[in-house]
Amino acid sequence: MKFTLFFFNLFFLFEISALVYIDPGTGSVILQAIIGIIATIGTTAALYFNKIKNFFKRKNKKNNE
């Protein structure tokens, strides 16, 4: 625990300002990453939703027969 607190203090309390330049292409890459994450989450949710829906459909067919 003390080790973690030491490094937290080292990195966040003694910060040094840096003069950096972010080129316009960086915004594009960040936007693409965000869109990719949203698409991945949507696809995964749809996949599992369909699996759950099909599971209950099969269960209802067995009960009706």
Cα gap 13→5, rounded to integer Å: 11
Q: What is the model's pTM?
A: 0.55
Cα–Cα dist 5/18, whole Å: 24
Domain ranges of the chain: 23-58
Instruction: Give pLDDT, residue 64.
Output: 61
pLDDT at site 21: 78
pLDDT at residue 19, rounded to an integer: 76
Cα 34 to Cα 26, 43, 65: the distances in Å are 12, 14, 47
Q: Which pLDDT score is estimated for 37?
A: 97
Q: 4-62 pLDDT, tens per residue? A: 888 887 777 777 777 777 788 888 999 999 999 999 999 999 999 999 998 888 766 66
